[in-house]
Amino acid sequence: MQKRDLTRLLGWPGYRVYKYEVDETAKTLKLWVRKKPIHRGFECSGCGRRVHAVMATWEREVADLDCFEFRTTVVLEVHRLNCVQCGPKVEKIEQVPSKAPYTKRFEDRIGQACESAAARRVAWQFGLPESTVRAIDLRYLERCAAKRRKAPLKQMGVDEIHMGKKIQFITVVSNLVTGEPLWFGRERKQETLDEFFRTQLRSSQRRNILAACVDMWQPFTASITQWAPQCKIVYDKFHIMKHANEAVNEVRRAEFFRRGGRAREIVKGKRWLLLTRWVNLGSHKKQLLNELFQLNRRMMKAYLLKEALQHLWDYTYEGAALRYLKGWVDQLRWQRLPPFEKLANMLAVHLDGILNYCRTRVRFGVVEGINSNIRLLINRGRGYKNLRYLLLKAQRMVATRTELVAFRKVA
Ligand SMILES: [Zn+2]
């Protein structure tokens, strides 16, 4: 085989193969390459200008994509330049973006594999240590993130995720319009969110935030009011409904212990049924619930109250929404359902942020969607001690999905 053919097979713009070695027993291919022509100079890694003054030259060996069955490595010449602006600097090499001994396209291949499989599996597939695969994936994701355009933040979502015993909670800030997670912070204090506002946004960006969708969690509200006073706080419907579901479950538990014998048998194991919305139940399941309700009025009332609360977000006019909520609270009278009385108090305290939805519409469910994506990643990957890595991974998930959608539209 001619060196010219190998140069074409390798396909590194500006580089020529000047020596090669094939080891048929070890199944390796080694190529020595050199930049040509050199009269154009070399690119400074600091400022990007062309520099001719070379201070030193040495060789570097990096792994590239395999050629057929042969593990392929490339030995290339690297130059230390004397740049007029930066002083002594190493040249920038497009094909080898980091200090690690791998080419960009090799890292891209690993990173792409990590998009659909766990790092451990990719490590096995490529015969690399798992820690190496993670490091490569992290660099790949950083490069992807650097290339992407940042959308303006008009509506933000703030939520917390429980990460387990060690890290406990992290705070997740997202862009509700693009559905992309923007930032992760340890813990869920006011200071946590303060840090986001302080380090991630300029004051003009903070002024441009119109609405925030948050859980009824005081520290977050306090931080938003301080840093972005113009921003309307809208309490997330999903979180409020989660509280309503918890109230139903508390009633169920109380009924279970209050009643004995046969009645207890009927309440038992109905948790999932009671937490599912009526419209999402099949006819058999509806019948099961009806049987339960015939025997236990209190369970029925709790279920109906939860179902009715859903409709609070159907109203466009603040006055109508308020009337509906008052009617809902009135239904609680004489019902002896303490968990719902507690819920009603909570709603009363956070009334303004609930009614804000009539004035400022936000996309509910985005925060929940991001939350479940992150959970999926944590369960699949295990041990994301590096929050930056987890964030980039979650952002990439959103990006690849939109790319997929865009592709489908074209096709
Ligand atoms: Zn320079």
Q: What are the tens digits of pLDDT across the range 289-302?
A: 888 888 788 889 99
- Ligand 1 is a single-atom ion; what residues have CB below 5 A from it? 44, 46-47, 83, 85-86
Name which of 12-21, 23-32, 122-131, 267-276 the model is least confident about.
267-276
Ligand 1 centroid to Cα of residue 49, in Å, is: 6
Ligand 1 centroid to Cα of residue 91, in Å, is: 9
Mean pLDDT of 334-344: 91
Instruction: Look at residue 137 in the predicted model and tell me its pLDDT.
Output: 95
pLDDT, tens digit, 9 for 90 and up, residues 66-113: 999 999 999 999 999 999 999 999 999 999 999 999 999 999 999 999
C-beta separation of 340 from 241 below 8 A = no
Ligand 1 centroid to Cα of residue 14, in Å, is: 20
Q: What torsion do the CA atoms of 291, 292, 294, 299 make, to the nearest 10 degrees?
A: -150
Rounded to the nearest integer, the mean pLDDT of the chain is 90
Mean pLDDT of 241-252: 92
User: Of 102, 104, 95, which is closest to residue 43 (Cα–Cα)?
Assistant: 95
Query: Strand 71-83 to strand 28-35: parallel, antiparallel, or no bridges (unpaired)?
Result: parallel
Mean pLDDT of 24-28: 96
Ligand 1 centroid to Cα of residue 141, in Å, is: 26
Asked whether residue 332 carries a pLDDT value surpassing 80, the answer given is yes
C-beta separation of 144 from 396 below 8 A = yes
Ligand 1 centroid to Cα of residue 230, in Å, is: 44
Would you tell me how many other CB atoms lie within 10 Å of the CB of residue 242? 14
N-to-C CA span, the chain: 41
CA 108, 111, 117, 123 torsion-angle sign: positive
Ligand 1 centroid to Cα of residue 94, in Å, is: 16
More confident residue, 185 or 163: 185
Instruction: Look at residue 411 in the predicted model and tell me its pLDDT.
Output: 35
Would you tell me how many other CB atoms lie within 10 Å of the CB of residue 48? 11
Asked whether residue 404 carries a pLDDT value surpassing 70, the answer given is no
Ligand 1 centroid to Cα of residue 52, in Å, is: 11
What letter represents residue 297's amino acid? R
Give per-residue burial for 125-164: e unless 16+ CB within 10 Å, then b: ebebeeebbbbbbbbbbbebeeeeeeeebebbbbbbbebe
Instruction: Look at residue 71 in the predicted model and tell me its pLDDT.
Output: 94
Confidence of residue 403 (pLDDT cuts 50, 70, 90): low
Instruction: Look at residue 196 in the predicted model and tell me its pLDDT.
Output: 96
Ligand 1 centroid to Cα of residue 45, in Å, is: 6
d(CA 390, CA 397): 11
User: Of 329, 327, 328, 316, which is closest to residue 355 (Cα–Cα)?
Assistant: 316
Mean pLDDT of 378-392: 83
What letter represents residue 281's amino acid? L
More confident residue, 202 or 270: 202
Confidence of residue 59 (pLDDT cuts 50, 70, 90): very high
Ligand 1 centroid to Cα of residue 81, in Å, is: 9
Residue 224 burial (10 A CB sphere; 0-12, 13-18, 19+): buried
d(CA 121, CA 374): 19
Ligand 1 centroid to Cα of residue 42, in Å, is: 10
Question: Which residue bears the tokens 């009135």?
Answer: 330
